[in-house]
Amino acid sequence: MTVRLFVSATLTAGQAVTLDPRQAHYVASVMRLAPGDSIHLFNGRDGEWRTEIAMLTKKSVRLSVVDRVRAQKGPTDLWLAFTPPKGPRLATLIEKATELGVAVLAPIITARSIVRRTNTERLAAIAAEAAEQCGRLTVPAVREAVSLDDLIADWPTDRRLIFCDESRTAPTLTQAIADVPPPVAVLIGPEGGFAAAERERLRAMPAVIAATLGPRILRVDTAAIAALAVYQATAGDWRR
């Protein structure tokens, strides 16, 4: 398997790129690559490029960009707005949402939220590593956490919001998706659900379409992963 790394540098033939310390450690000490070995780089703008290791020590790796192997392509225009779960489930959610092709990760704070602030830099690093591993040409944008009220106030009118609702009176997810033209966002509430007043505000938004995710109570990360997978498989980039 070719090592793929996300970098911020511009990529063009002949360019020299120095890896950051985490990536240098991975290349030199974990993968034990040597000068002359190939590594692929992407930056979310210039496509994917084959490079060769020009210089390598345990702490520093310099690459020489050789040629482009894939043209740049945007991600599916799919957003995820979610109430961050506690502990390792948050990292699971970020990693899986990245693998499932999400473009924007928007943490929100709700009445029943337990996690009320997020470390954006850490979440972006998890997303970058997942993007490197899964073959994406982009890394999802991780937003700062905002209140549900602010999310609603600033909501773009042309983007439908699939509100994953626990009430079980809403249409099923596949019915909801079939009725919704892109672009869309998936909205996942906290463990214990949205408060009654929040549910009313959401249901009053013209952009909102409610959907139920089956007969069982899903954890936040499960609900997010499942809803994104169903979206990509039935309306997104899993189709041919």
Residue with Cβ nearer a second copy (65 or 97): 97
Span near a second copy by CB under 8 A; candidates 13-21, 27-35, 53-61, 171-179: 171-179
Site for a second copy in 188-227 (CB under 8 A): 192, 212-219, 221-222, 225-227
Mask for 5-44, x = binds a second copy (CB under 8 A): ----------------------------------------
- Cβ within 8 Å of residue 71, ≥6 positions away: 47
Radius of gyration of the chain (CA): 20
Distance CA 238, CA 25 (A): 34
Q: Which amino acid is at 229?
A: A
Number of chain residues interacting with a second copy (CB under 8 A): 38
> Which one, of 98, 116, 97, lies nearest residue 107 by Cα?
116
Cβ 171 to a second copy shortest distance, Å:
9
Site for a second copy in 83-122 (CB under 8 A): 88, 92, 95-96, 99-101
Residue with Cβ nearer a second copy (101 or 189): 101
Residue with Cβ nearer a second copy (17 or 138): 138
Task: Let me know: does 223 contact 163? Beta carbons within 8 Å.
Answer: no
Distance CA 18, CA 65 (A): 11
In the list 21, 35, 135, 156, the residue contacting a second copy (rule: CB under 8 A) is 135
Per-residue exposure over 39-64, b if at least 16 CB sit within 10 Å of its own CB, e if not:
bbbbbbebbbbbbebeebeeeebbbe
* Half-sphere exposure of residue 10: CA atoms within 13 angstroms, side-chain side: 4
Count CB-CB contacts under 10 A for residue 213: 21
Residue with Cβ nearer a second copy (37 or 166): 166
> Which one, of 55, 61, 84, 56, lies nearest residue 9 by Cα?
61
In the list 134, 144, 160, 206, the residue contacting a second copy (rule: CB under 8 A) is 134
Residue with Cβ nearer a second copy (96 or 160): 96
Residues at the contact surface with a second copy, assessed by CB under 8 A: 1, 88, 92, 95-96, 99-101, 133-136, 172-174, 192, 212-219, 221-222, 225-227, 229-230, 232-234, 237-240
